[in-house]
Amino acid sequence: MAENSEKPELLSRRLIFRNPERSVVRISPDGTRIAFLAPVDGVLNLWFAPIADLGKARNVTAVTDRGLGPWVVWMHDNRHVVFFRQQGGDENWRAWRVNLQTDDVRPLTPGPGVTCFVQQISRHFPSELLIGHNERDKRFFDIYRVDVATGESALVEANDGFTGYFTDQRFNVRYAVRHAENGDVERLERKDGGDWNVFVSIGADDAMATRPIEFSDDGRELYWLDSRGRDTAAVVAQDLESGAMQVLAEDPRADFTNLLLDPVTQHPIAAAATFERTRWQVLDTDYKEDFEYLMRRSPGDLAITSMSQDRRNWIVAYLHDNAPLEYFHYDCDAQQARRLFSSIPALEDAPLVTMEPTLIRSRDGLELVCYLSRPRTARPGTRLPMALLVHGGPWTRDVWGLHPNHQWLANRGYAVLSVNYRGSTGFGKAFVNAANMEWAGKMHDDLIDAVDWAITVGIADPARVAIMGTSYGGYSALVGVTFTPEKFACAVDLVGISNLVTFLNTIPDYWMPWKSVWKVRMGDYTTEAGKRFLEERSPLNYANRIVRPLLIGQGVNDVRVKASESEQIVAAMRQHGIPVTYVSYPDEGHGLGRPENRCSFAAVAEAFLAAHLGGRREPVGNDFKDATIEFRVGRELVGRFHDSNHKLSETVRPEKWHAKPVCRDFRNAVVRIGFMESVV
């Protein structure tokens, strides 16, 4: 694609893939301060500021290796904030706390090699919380009561076989959770300290969309997101004395996935469901005018990130598709929202593109919610090279908003299509269950149908479509070049599964209690017939079919999809004499967390795209500086590098591709290496 004066300026990869300037913004229970993540020398650290004077913001941590985890927890004493760290992407999250009066920082959970999560916080115990961690047995999470002021902890519940526990505002362990072999999820109740008895069993068909959210503060009600007796998950209140269930909100097209609770009573205030865009339904009429005002305040999708204990001060955020996330302080008494800042101010005036929600019908009649981005200068009737971005999970979904990969690729001249294929969550249980046993089957058909739609309506050039993704999306990329070997011009796989059997044999220990999920939805790994089926759906076993260029990226410390998944398909391709480029990162895990590494991978992928799909590219510049990228195989296929920083030269050598006569060019693209900040 030739450059011309109509083309928008090239957006810098360092701008697109940088860490946000402000993220994970949370208000203190007393409503006077906010805590948030912001960079210190480019690394995300914990900051806090008076809500009335953001100019007094200061950092209270100064980590230098990699950013803090995306969770910030205010304690109800208004003095302590809890945050999380991992090492090298190993997902062994350790909880720490900072005393905002003294700046004293100390760990709350053991390490290394131990991971944890916050089980419960409560206004009734301002300086305490329940934390689950797996120090004693890596398979199971014990529950500890932790005093954040002193760091002392006491064992509350030793776990010898459950997936987890459900607790209440008084720190009582109310239910144990167990995954049965048939995929059902059992919630068990212990009466008078005796044996655990089944309180309720959620069938496998409902298990993905049905879960309890919280008890009311008085313990009389339990609030659910619940698909039992319907297709989509409704908001349901259960009277625990009578067992009666009351539906508070439901939507025939989408699951309710977010429930906002009153900070004192824990009663539901409002709930959100997302089909194409997010829609809120107010459940407590006292808040009706607040939500009406907030939804008028901005055309973006509304998120409520936190609320003060007196309900008077909120932090809200608006997601946009062509502008950075915006944070506001909402004064409930005055019914006024004051803009605080955006997540990435440098993008506010950038030439960003819109994201078009698009409904595509699958060959067997399912409605696929997709999102399409096009270059700003795309001319009607002109076919474009296209990037098909496949989300991970697979039990998650793509949403409308500002996505780094969409902006980056559209800026370079590509149409970009994200597809919520069957198995994606949020669209009802029938849609999720339609993916059972369909890895590399109908799930892949949905992707092909979406590509064919883009070709049929004149958006995509059929000879220039790339498939790319991370995790399950990486698996899909490998499926693309093995099960439909000539459909895509190229594929890029980041931390993707190459063999479903070896993947299941190497999952983290703490995934073991719910391993039956894979049995029901992927294939029965416990039988010989099931194992054969899983092998049939594994790209590794069809590596000899690959006739399109492939780029593979891997974090060495990945605990979910081990590096062996990438290494074994690289070895198989080399055994068959098929060229492949394989890069790895010794300080990364399941994806690329450090912005320097994201930029380096994007620089390599962009050179692939420019040379072989025809889009624009930015000179590499210093995008390899401070990255830990290592070319393990196929560096010569990408292009010529020089000096100690591995700077990519302007020369790319597609003629090096010579695997099969069907494909004489080397068109490559990038996976979803960007990230969208979680604000809820």
Residue 269: predicted pLDDT: 98
DSSP conformation class of 663: B
Q: Is the pLDDT of residue 616 over 50?
A: yes
Domain ranges within the chain, ordered by starting residue: 13-207+272-347, 208-271, 355-499+538-656
Report CA-CA distances (Å) from 59 to 20, 22, 98, 99, 100: 15, 12, 11, 12, 10
CATH class of the domain at 355-499+538-656:
alpha beta
> Is 471 one of the annotated active-site residues of the chain?
yes
Give yes or no for residue 153 having a pLDDT over 60.
yes
The pLDDT score that the predictor gives to residue 541 is 98
Locate tokens 């300080």: which residue? Answer: 587
Cα torsion 337, 348, 675, 651 to 10°: value is: 180
pLDDT over 80 at 647, yes or no:
no
Say if CB 40 and CB 327 are below 8 A apart.
Answer: no
Q: Give me the pLDDT at residue 634, please.
A: 87
Query: 13-207+272-347: which CATH architecture?
Result: 7 Propeller (2.130)
pLDDT of 639: 58
Name the pLDDT band for 342 (thresholds 50, 70, 90).
very high
The secondary element (H helix, E strand) that includes residue 393 is none
pLDDT digits (tens, 9 = 90+) for 71-100: 999 999 999 999 999 999 999 999 999 999
pLDDT, tens digit, 9 for 90 and up, residues 442-469 = 999 999 999 999 999 999 999 999 999 9
H or E stretch covering 329: strand 326-331
Catalytic residue among 590, 600, 612, 623: 590
Which of 301, 558, 587, 623 does the annotation list as catalytic? 558
- Helices and strands (DSSP H and E) totals, the chain: 13, 38
Within 13 Å of residue 409, how many CA atoms lie on the same side as its CB?
35
Known catalytic membership, residue 590: yes
Predicted TM-score (pTM) above 0.85: yes
User: Which of 227, 298, 471, 538 is the catalytic position?
Assistant: 471
Indicate the average pLDDT of the chain: 92
Residue 631 to residue 89: CA distance in whole angstroms: 19
**What's the average model confidence in pLDDT over 33-39?**
98
Active site residue 558: yes
Average pLDDT over residues 354-377: 97
